[in-house]
């Protein structure tokens, strides 16, 4: 049974919850135990998705105990017949997989070199028990723009959050809007007006990030910078955060900004997850 590992940015917690809770054919879901995973676990359980938890060094043991080498799933058998391949694609009948999720700290973004080092370290460690790894990050200011090249010696296949143009998304905002092209259009629309883009996770964590990154720099770039005047609320109908509106309003008031609304999209998240889950090597 294939193992898909997901190494994810803490800012993409809601997107992870969305795709994992929708996947009712998961044979096993393991979340790496850490302080960062508490919110993810709470949200998964609220959607009747109850993963197992383990520290990273114990995950291989859980996977080994769960595997049955003599079992071949019906989906794998049927996929060998052309007529059933077409049927399976239409019905989205997918091979059973085990998924391991490792959610990394939001604070890593304070230093892109540390971010890169931590992602690379976790990819290498998880590659030892994974058939495929989905890097649930954007390029993050080019910090992660060469992961595939730098880690080409790994035997497991790497997947990325790619938009319909085949480009890895720039960051969590690009992902929330539906890809780099949608992000560019939004920036063009607000050209000349400094804009802060807010997802539910950004809106609920800005105070924490301010404290972690240092209030002096944060205030210098936002609170006391007159160029920033808009708070763009990116709303997706599939991510339900009842405190989102209040959090955005609080942020906008603190920074003296006007709130504007943008429609979000989970297309990139869903398709990237499906590609990694099914081991697809091409756009579906």
Question: What are the DSSP E strand ranges found in the chain?
Answer: 3-9, 28-32, 52-54, 98-104, 132-136, 157-160, 194-198, 228-235, 258-263
- Kindly list the domain boundaries of the chain, sorted by start residue: 3-171+267-278, 180-263
Q: Residues, the chain, total?
A: 284
Which CATH number applies to 3-171+267-278? 3.40.35
Which residue do the tokens 């690009």 mark?
A: 174
pLDDT at 141 over 90: no
Q: pLDDT tens for residues 48-76?
A: 999 999 999 999 999 988 664 443 444 44
Q: pLDDT tens for residues 241-283?
A: 889 999 999 999 988 899 999 999 999 999 999 999 999 754 4
Q: Report the pLDDT value the prediction gives residue 91, as an integer from 0 to 100.
A: 43
pTM equals 0.86
- What integer is the mean pLDDT of 123-133? 97
Q: pLDDT tens for residues 84-109?
A: 455 444 444 457 899 999 999 988 98
HSE of 5 in the Cβ direction (CA atoms, 13 Å)? 24
pLDDT at 151 over 50: yes
Q: Report the pLDDT value the prediction gives residue 27, as an integer from 0 to 100.
A: 87
- Write down the mean pLDDT value for the chain: 86
- What integer is the mean pLDDT of 204-211? 81
Distance CA 3, CA 131 (A): 5
pLDDT band at 41 (very low <50, low <70, confident <90, very high): very high
pLDDT band at 77 (very low <50, low <70, confident <90, very high): very low
pLDDT band at 25 (very low <50, low <70, confident <90, very high): confident
Tell me how crowded residue 147 is: count the other CB atoms within 10 A of its CB: 22
Name which of 53, 48, 52 is nearest 22 in CA terms. Answer: 48
């Amino acid at each position: 049974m294939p193992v898909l590992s997901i190494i994810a940015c803490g800012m993409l917690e809601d997107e992870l919850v969305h795709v994992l809770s929708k996947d009712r054919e998961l044979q096993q879901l393991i979340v790496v135990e850490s302080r960062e995973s508490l919110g993810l676990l709470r949200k998964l359980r609220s959607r009747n998705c109850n993963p197992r938890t383990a520290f990273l060094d114990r995950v291989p043991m859980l996977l080994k105990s769960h595997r049955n080498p003599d079992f071949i799933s019906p989906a794998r058998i049927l996929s060998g017949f052309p007529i059933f391949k077409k049927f399976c694609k239409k019905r989205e009948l997918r091979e059973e997989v085990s998924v391991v999720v490792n959610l990394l700290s939001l604070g890593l973004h304070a230093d892109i070199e540390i971010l890169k080092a931590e992602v690379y370290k976790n990819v290498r460690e998880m590659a030892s028990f994974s058939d495929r790894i989905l890097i649930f990050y954007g390029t993050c200011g080019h910090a992660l723009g060469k992961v595939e090249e730098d880690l080409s010696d790994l035997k497991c296949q790497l997947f990325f959050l790619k938009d319909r143009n085949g480009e890895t998304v720039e960051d969590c905002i690009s992902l929330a809007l539906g890809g780099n092209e949608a992000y560019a259009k939004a920036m063009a629309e607000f050209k000349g007006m400094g804009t802060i883009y807010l997802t539910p996770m950004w809106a609920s964590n800005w105070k924490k990030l301010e404290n972690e990154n240092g209030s002096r720099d944060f205030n210098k770039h936002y609170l006391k910078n007159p160029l920033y005047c808009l708070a763009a609320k990116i709303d997706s109908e599939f991510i339900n955060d009842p405190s989102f509106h209040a959090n955005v309003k609080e942020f906008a008031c603190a920074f003296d900004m006007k709130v504007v609304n943008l429609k979000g999209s989970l297309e990139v998240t869903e398709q990237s997850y499906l590609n990694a889950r099914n081991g697809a090597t091409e756009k579906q």
